[in-house]
Amino acid sequence: MVLTTTSTSVNYRAVPDESGRFGPYGGKYVPETLMPALDELEEAYLQARDDGEFMAELAHLQHTYVGRPTPLTYARRLSERLGGAQIYLKREDLAHSGAHKINNALGQALLMKRKMGKTRIVAETGAGQHGVATATAAALLGIECVVYMGIVDMERQKPNVFRMQLLSTEVRSVDSGSQTLKDAINEAIRDWVTNVATTHYLLGSVLGPHPYPAMVRDFQSIIGCEAYSQMQDTAQGGPGRLPDVIVACVGGGSNAIGIFHPFLEEETVRLVGVEAGGHGIEGGAHAARFADPKLGRLGVLQGTKSYVLQDSDGQIALTHSISAGLDYASVGPEHAWLRDMGRSQYTYCTDAQTLKGFKALCELEGIIPALESAHAIGHVLELAPQMARDQVILVNLSGRGDKDLGTVMKTVGGER
């Protein structure tokens, strides 16, 4: 890993600009039908952000319903085993519905309910965590909800499909293309284009056309805001100082942006995003947009310009990851920009290394992580021993792993 020194002259709060750009990334690449809906959404969001009453209602729900603030846990046995840096976990797995996704889902659903004259929500889901979070928020607020999910993902995340149905959400299977997250997003956008007068598209990551990347980031920044204060406060379980490194997995990148953002001006804090390395970079069966110089290039997918895994003809590459939530060909535009600025760095973790992280956290800490979050742990297994004992790593443990038991049983179950 190359250490890059950051410059204080960059104003990280100045992005995106008015047209939704993070440097050369971002923007609004959507059919004309949706342009008014994006303008309306932006207006509603900007208004809500400055509306004390709205923000108070959201904060109240985050506290009394989601269970925020989520705790900070010192991973004592994992730290001792690795013999290097001290590892702290930000426990988004303990947020209601089992992942950080609820922060954004609740924010957008409340926004729709209070500020927009719409009655219906559509969403996409890969791992099912965003779908469950959206179904949860919709049930709480009494909103009709349809979630699109690739049939490959429905198979590997069955429990989450049933959870959504229990929450009275309609799950529609998507059998086009690669039948995973990207195709579910296409279908959700098609539904949105068709029903835009009544329907809000509750996008689940820092992707898509402006204002989504900025709005989702803002709803997720609560993770970093809490961690910022918890880390410095021993009474809240922190080490009493800022971390040296923050590690988070990056699919679209919402949990990573959420924990990174409040630390951007803290130059001593290194920010590391972990992409899905799948079966390794060389064969192309992965979802590591920044790591593959052959397939990962500037492109436009589903409304935003960013790094996109694609062939030489601009067709979107099929991705692979053991975790459905990271199995996506593009990455949030702000990540691409932060990387260009040298502020954050990106590495990847293969399926095999991820399973090592998964097992380590189960066995040493009594926490079953989501396979997405296990990518961050998998990287920490390599990173922590290279660091000194008085150094500190903060990991965003973005979700819990109940949904992944089937996948893990299939992969490692036989070894026991």
Partner 1 sequence: MSGIERIEQVFRDLKRAESAAFMPYHAMGYPNRQASLEVIAALTEAGADLFEIGIPHSDPLADGPTIQSATYAALVGGTTVADCLQMVRELRAQGVGKPFCAMSYYNPILAYGEERFVADAAEAGIDGLIVPDLPPGESELLEPACRQAGLATIYLLAPTSTEERIQAVTRHATGFVYLVSVTGITGAREELPSDLLGFVKRVRRHTDLPLAVGFGISTGPQAAKVAEIVEGVIVGSALVKAAGSASGIAAVRTLAEELAVGSHTAVASDQKRQ
Give the span between the Cα atoms of 350 and 348, in whole angstroms.
7
Listed in sequence order, the residues at least 6 apart from 162 whose beta carbon sits closer than 8 Å to its beta carbon are none
80 catalytic residue (yes or no): no
Binding mask 73-112 for partner 1 (x = CB under 8 A): ----------------------------------------
The yes or no reply on residue 319 touching partner 1 (CB under 8 A) is no
The yes or no reply on residue 31 touching partner 1 (CB under 8 A) is yes
Closest to partner 1 by CB, 176 vs 386, is 176
Among 1, 35, 56, 59, binds partner 1 (CB under 8 A): 35
Give the span between the Cα atoms of 310 and 106, in whole angstroms.
33
118 catalytic residue (yes or no): no
Closest to partner 1 by CB, 34 vs 374, is 34
Contact between 187 and 15 (Cβ < 8 Å): no
Binding mask 247-286 for partner 1 (x = CB under 8 A): ----------------------------------------
Listed in sequence order, the residues at least 6 apart from 12 whose beta carbon sits closer than 8 Å to its beta carbon are 261, 264, 265, 338, 341, 343
The yes or no reply on residue 193 touching partner 1 (CB under 8 A) is yes
The yes or no reply on residue 313 touching partner 1 (CB under 8 A) is yes
Sheet with 304-309: list strands edge to edge: 21-22, 25-26, 304-309, 296-301
Contact between 204 and 182 (Cβ < 8 Å): no
CB of 25 to partner 1, least distance (A): 12
Give the span between the Cα atoms of 11 and 105, in whole angstroms.
28
Among 246, 308, 392, 397, binds partner 1 (CB under 8 A): 308
Cβ–Cβ contacts within 10 Å for residue 409, how many? 11
CB of 150 to partner 1, least distance (A): 13
CB of 63 to partner 1, least distance (A): 38
Q: Which two tokens stand for residue 319?
A: 């991705």
CB of 299 to partner 1, least distance (A): 5
Query: Whole-angstrom distance between the N-terminal and C-terminal Cα of the chain?
Result: 34
Coil, helix or strand at residue 304: strand
Give the span between the Cα atoms of 278 and 124, in whole angstroms.
22
Listed in sequence order, the residues at least 6 apart from 369 whose beta carbon sits closer than 8 Å to its beta carbon are 93, 357, 358, 361, 362, 377, 397, 399, 400, 401
Of 101, 113, 115, 118, the active-site residue reads 101
Stretch that binds partner 1, among 35-43, 74-82, 103-111, 345-353 (CB under 8 A): 35-43
The yes or no reply on residue 66 touching partner 1 (CB under 8 A) is no
The yes or no reply on residue 166 touching partner 1 (CB under 8 A) is no
CB of 182 to partner 1, least distance (A): 7
CB of 114 to partner 1, least distance (A): 22
CB of 15 to partner 1, least distance (A): 17
Contact between 153 and 131 (Cβ < 8 Å): no
Of 42, 92, 124, 226, the active-site residue reads 124
Please choose, from the candidates 43, 382, 61, 95, the residue with its C-alpha nearest in 3D space to the C-alpha of residue 245: 382
Among 133, 316, 338, 355, binds partner 1 (CB under 8 A): 316
The residue written with tokens 């303008």 in the block is 39
40 catalytic residue (yes or no): no
Among 204, 299, 332, 401, binds partner 1 (CB under 8 A): 299
CA 115 to chain centre: 25
CB of 201 to partner 1, least distance (A): 12
The yes or no reply on residue 19 touching partner 1 (CB under 8 A) is yes
Stretch that binds partner 1, among 6-14, 34-42, 71-79, 389-397 (CB under 8 A): 34-42
Cβ–Cβ contacts within 10 Å for residue 254, how many? 28
Q: Are strands 296-301 and 270-278 parallel, antiparallel or unpaired?
A: unpaired
Closest to partner 1 by CB, 54 vs 201, is 201
Size of the site for partner 1 (CB under 8 A): 38
Binding residues for partner 1, per CB under 8 A?
A: 19, 27-37, 39, 176-177, 182, 186, 189-190, 193-197, 297-303, 308, 310, 312-316
Catalytic residue numbers read: 101, 124, 398
